[in-house]
Amino acid sequence: MSRITLTGVSRSFGQVQVLHDIDLDIRDGELVVFVGPSGCGKSTLLRLIAGLDRPTKGIIAINDEDVTRVAAADRGLAMVFQSYALYPHMSVRQNLAFGLENARMPRAEIDQRIAEAARMLEIAPYLDRRPGQLSGGQRQRVAIGRAIVRNPTAFLLDEPLSNLDAELRISTRAELAALHERLSATMIYVTHDQTEAMTLADRIVVLRAGRIEQVGTPLELYNRPANLFVAGFIGAPR
């Protein structure tokens, strides 16, 4: 399980404060979407939660433990980036196995996890191809597969669909929603796309210039936006 708590989290780069005093409590198994315009601090916040960066002030805890005190391998988090970041010289199978081999997982278990993820994401036919021989949508599914095989308790996804064309974005979005149901893992999903936020989220966190404007379910935000910015940013629920 993964409950993620942010308390007074700020991040500055030099003189520039990018995140201001963020408080947020993400429940185990919840799908939370961070939404806001480009440059508002979504990726910075996600990287802090992943433990890839440290807050200037404040604490991020996963199951009540400060992330910066937990070894990366023990955090139970897997991150999926907008650029797929696959190894181009390795086959899909090798890409999926790489992290598990480094963790010295037994071969039989690695093979089993890869087979399972491949079935779930329908990438079994491509396991022996290289990323360069795949379409954008297939590559993104491999990137998601690489997160799944690690069996994380929380997925952190940073604009995972933004490189896909509109049609693929909609089908992959539906797959991600189904995956969330099936794995009952906590998911934090970053996007600047209102439709994605409204469709996927249990709760939406609206960010603006490094501050939380409002947190709520899609319906709450739609029916009772806290201000004009939220109202303008949130589309109709579907």
Give the footprint of Mg ion on this chain (CB under 5 A).
Answer: 43
- Residue 43 or 214: the one with the smaller Cβ distance to Mg ion is 43
If binding is defined by CB under 6 A, does position 18 make contact with ligand ADP? yes
Contacts of ligand ADP in 37-56 (CB under 6 A): 38-44
- Strand-pairing partners, residue 89, are none
If binding is defined by CB under 6 A, does position 209 make contact with ligand ADP? no
The interface partner of residue 41, options being ligand ADP, Mg ion, none and the CB cut-off 5 to 8 Å by kind, is ligand ADP
Tell me how far, at minimum, the Cβ of 204 lies from ligand ADP, in Å. Answer: 14
- Residue 8 or 37: the one with the smaller Cβ distance to Mg ion is 37
User: ∠74-76-81 over CA atoms, to 5°?
Assistant: 120
User: ∠53-39-209 over CA atoms, to 5°?
Assistant: 95
SS3 content of the chain, % helix, strand, coil (to 5): 40, 25, 35
CA distance to 27, 81, 179, per residue, from 92 (Å): 33, 17, 20
Contacts of ligand ADP in 122-181 (CB under 6 A): none
Tell me how far, at minimum, the Cβ of 154 lies from ligand ADP, in Å. Answer: 19
- Residue 43 or 186: the one with the smaller Cβ distance to Mg ion is 43
If binding is defined by CB under 6 A, does position 15 make contact with ligand ADP? no
- Residue 82 or 94: the one with the smaller Cβ distance to Mg ion is 82
Among 56, 60, 54, which Cα is nearest to 23's?
A: 60
Segment (H or E) for 175 = helix 166-183
The interface partner of residue 40, options being ligand ADP, Mg ion, none and the CB cut-off 5 to 8 Å by kind, is ligand ADP
- Residue 145 or 210: the one with the smaller Cβ distance to ligand ADP is 210
CA-CA-CA-CA torsion sign (119, 122, 127, 131): negative
Three-class secondary structure of residue 20 per DSSP: strand
Tell me how far, at minimum, the Cβ of 42 lies from ligand ADP, in Å. Answer: 3
